[in-house]
Amino acid sequence: MRRRRGGFSLVELLVVIAILAVLIGILLPTVRAARLASKRTLCASRLHELTAACVQYHLDNREFPRPETTALMGEVIPHIIALPLLNGLAPYLNHCELPETATLGDLPAVAQCPFAEDFDQPNIRGPIPLPGGPFVNLGYQYTAGLDELPGGHGVVLRVGHVASLRGNRRGVVWSDELGWYAGAGLPWQGEPSYAYFHLVSGAAYNGLGLADTTPLQGQHRAWSDGSVEWVKTSEMDLAPADAGPNGNGPSYKISSGTAAVAYAWF
């Protein structure tokens, strides 16, 4: 008698395919969550290195680097980083100084949020040619000494969150970018425009920033004592106001009269 050749029937094949589909459906969210956690860990590590570089700078100069004032608005906008700030830290980051013609690819990796690296649009991350020199958006904010700068329109709302230039008061030196913008008579008037990069999922820009904070995971804050804190979105009051009702509202307010208002969290 002839022996029948073994093989899968159509029903068995469909069952195997269904099982594989279920396994993939279970594994994909786990893999995605692991990737987000890995990037978040890398982000915290980079913020720690940036703060350590500032501490070394402080040891040599007796103060932290001074934030750069934008010539266009005459005030410090924490997430707009001028190249001189990075060049001042270059020796402590083992990186060469950056020329004014530098591109995003020339920036030291440690000075870029890994979530921001997914955004390579020049109109979002720069270099942005402004009067006084180009600025870049690292996905990080520099916030030391914001209450010690002469002139400008910036107002510190939570002094306990600002590191002093002399280092004699504990505060935040670097943090993940998180801000809100509005302006009178400007195209985004009346629409919330948030700026952040720690996304749970993709989000569309409305011309200046993100329209809501639903996809925001949270924010890292690197303190002058070397600690890096992770704050969940649910633990922050993200409504633009001078003082959050639960004490977790914005830390800094930038106002140019009736032209524009911006808030920064750190």
Full DSSP string of 142-170: E-TTTTS-SSSSEEES-GGGB--TTS-S-
- For residue 8, being part of any structural domain is answered with no
The position carrying tokens 């996905």 is 139
Per the CB < 8 A criterion, the answer to whether 156 and 255 are in contact is no
- For residue 228, being part of any structural domain is answered with yes
Percentage, residues of the chain above pLDDT 90? 32
Give the separation between CA 80 and CA 181, rounded to whole angstroms. 13
- For residue 117, being part of any structural domain is answered with yes
In this predicted structure, the answer to whether residue 209 has a pLDDT above a threshold of 80 is: no
| Amino acid (one-letter) located at 111 | A
- For residue 207, being part of any structural domain is answered with yes
- For residue 1, being part of any structural domain is answered with no
H/E stretch holding 26: helix 10-61
Contacts 24+ apart (CB under 8 A), 155-162: 155/252, 155/253, 155/254, 155/255, 156/251, 156/252, 157/242, 157/243, 157/249, 157/250, 157/251, 157/252, 157/253, 158/249, 158/250, 158/251, 158/252, 161/221, 161/251, 161/266, 162/251, 162/252
DSSP-derived 3-state class of residue 116: helix
Q: Supply the pLDDT for residue 207.
A: 64
pLDDT in tens, 228-245: 999 999 999 888 777 666
Domain boundaries, position 62: 13-264
Phi/psi of residue 151, nearest 5 degrees: 70, -165
- For residue 7, being part of any structural domain is answered with no
pLDDT in tens, 2-41: 555 555 676 667 777 777 777 777 766 666 777 888 889 9
Confidence of residue 185 (pLDDT cuts 50, 70, 90): very low
Per the CB < 8 A criterion, the answer to whether 180 and 262 are in contact is yes
Return the structure tokens found at 190.
Answer: 């009346």
Per the CB < 8 A criterion, the answer to whether 250 and 180 are in contact is yes
In this predicted structure, the answer to whether residue 198 has a pLDDT above a threshold of 60 is: yes
Please tell me the total count of domains within the chain. Answer: 1
pLDDT in tens, 113-124: 999 888 766 677
In this predicted structure, the answer to whether residue 110 has a pLDDT above a threshold of 50 is: yes
Contacts of 208 (CB under 8 A, 6+ apart): 181, 187, 188, 193, 195
Provide the mean pLDDT of the chain: 82
Give the separation between CA 253 and CA 153, rounded to whole angstroms. 8
